[in-house]
Amino acid sequence: MRYFLSLGSNLGNRSRNLAQARSLLQKAGVRIIRQSSVYETEPVDYLDQPWFYNQVLEVETSRSPLALLNTVKEIEHRMKRQPTCEKGPRVIDIDILLAERTVVQTNRLVIPHPRLSFRNFVMVPLAEIAPDFVHPLLHLPISTLAEMTGDTAEVRRVVEVRRFHQVSRESRL
């Protein structure tokens, strides 16, 4: 089954935390199909905290939605996510946004994620990799929903500069 996952981090080395979460997902047998750019995003709801790095992944796994939830909660635990106040700072947060056209409503899991269409930090990266995907309950493409969030929180793409070791011509001789 194909899923869309949201990754977020605002403690420690945010970029490294996202990379570690991606690596742990892959080691758990979750295949990453596509990944959005990384975005630096303004906190929502609980504002007195550092800005987040957020990213959305399209993944594939044979796991059921509840089994995938167990996997992502184990990854959060392995990365030492500590409970704080609701919507507070965290090393990593992994949310299941969508599971193909599947709708899940249990005490532990709701898919589609109930607030995804109201949050720029989710909709901007999701629209980058899946603009034509149709929300199974709202029946609108993600690109349309991304324009309708009503969220004023800032979202800006992170451009990471990679440093390369330059070898001089003399040292190669």
CA distance 61 to 162: 31
Select from 101, 29, 20, 39 the least CA-distant residue to 70. Answer: 29
CA distance 81 to 74: 10
Q: Which domains does the chain have, with CATH numbers?
A: 2-172 (3.30.70.560)
21-34 pLDDT, tens digit each: 999 999 999 999 99
CA distance 28 to 76: 13
66-116 pLDDT, tens digit each: 999 999 999 999 999 876 767 778 999 999 999 999 999 999 999 999 999
As a whole number, the mean pLDDT across the chain is 92
| pLDDT bracket for residue 166 (50, 70, 90) | low
